[in-house]
Amino acid sequence: MADHASFDPFDLNKQAFEKKDDTATRLTEENGQGPLQASLQEADSFDPFGIAATALSDSGQQEDALSTSSPDPPPQVSRITRSKLALPPKLVVKLTVYEEVSSTAKIGSGVEGASEVSLEGNVYAQVQCSDAKKNAPFGIVAIQRGTSLALRPNSKFTTVSPSNLPIVNIPKHEIGYVPIAYYSVNEQVEHMPILLERKVTTHGESCRVAVQIRSKLTNRGDMEDFTVAVAVPERVDGESIQILRGEGEWDELQRIIKWKLPLLNRGESFMVSAQAKLWKTKKPNEDIRFPVLLRCSSTADQISSVEIQSAEAEGHPSSLTSTTTYSFRLLHRLT
């Protein structure tokens, strides 16, 4: 049996043994423990153009540049330094000015539409502040024809600074508009937002009165709630009154003719008229007067020359943005 096992006339066992030795040698070289690893290291070190040295030099210069240009370490921030570096709050102030006006047209003044005006102004404010806890205070300034105008501050929301500037401080819970100041003005206004004209014609024992109202084209908006009342003198027979133009009503008790108009667009006009008989024929130089009373309102225009502005309060820095709107209600007379 031993002879048969050792019988190998073609050297097959020897070839298999040598093949195992070659496999083991190859595995050893792949693990970096033989001549194959040395040859790979020589191939990696092959650099005829000096690229590796240049790359190493550039990386060293970059490291030096980074080391020289690196920023300073961040400052130590505490609650104290953070409060000093905080930006002022953003404050948006919306002002609206409402005027109750009583005026009388100046006849023969030489200026078309000039009137003597007496009015009471009311200033309202609404604020929005970026500070979640409280609204930043702000100042308010009134100017009339280039000079300062004294305001009557509302003590609930307004105080006066040492420099005599009203300081407004509105609590955070106040969301809508609140009254902050008042003013009174008596002045002559040469350019009223409306122009009121009257024309009276007589012929024998009959007379006719016409009233025209014009809204100026330079107004900011339309005008509303018109009421025109014409007083009828005693020389006129009230029972003979006829409305010629406009939807008017005759009040016999008060002896007035009244017309109403809900809206008058900017730059437009409307006219009303009536006729009646006189008790006696008018004398050549006799003047028959029909006094006219006009009432209207506007949500975009202003009568007086007063300008209301907001300003930064002393000792309370803020990023302030402000807008101002005007409105009025007018009672105008033409005697």
**pLDDT for 223-275, tens place per residue?**
999 999 999 999 999 999 999 999 999 999 999 999 999 999 999 999 999 99
- Show the beta-strand stretches assigned E in the chain: 90-105, 115-129, 138-144, 147-148, 152-153, 158-160, 166-168, 178-189, 194-203, 206-215, 223-231, 236-245, 248-251, 256-264, 269-278, 292-298, 306-312, 319-334
What is the rounded distance in angstroms from the CA atom of residue 208 to the CA atom of residue 14?
Answer: 146
Parts of the chain belonging to CATH 2.60.40.1170: 90-192+302-328, 194-298
What is the rounded distance in angstroms from the CA atom of residue 104 to the CA atom of residue 120?
Answer: 15
- Burial of residue 296 (CB within 10 Å: 0-12, 13-18, 19+) is buried
Q: Which CATH homologous superfamily contains domain 194-298?
A: Mu homology domain, subdomain B (2.60.40.1170)
**What is the pLDDT, as a whole number, of residue 117?**
96
What is the rounded distance in angstroms from the CA atom of residue 255 to the CA atom of residue 294?
Answer: 16
pLDDT along the chain (335 residues), means of 10: 56 56 52 49 57 54 51 59 69 97 84 87 97 94 90 94 91 95 95 94 93 96 97 94 95 96 96 95 83 97 95 90 96 96
Instruction: Annotate 311-329 with b (16+ C-beta within 10 A) or e (fewer).
Output: ebbeeeebebebebebbbb
- The fold of the 90-192+302-328 domain, in CATH, is Immunoglobulin-like (2.60.40)
**What is the pLDDT, as a whole number, of residue 85?**
55
pTM score: 0.71
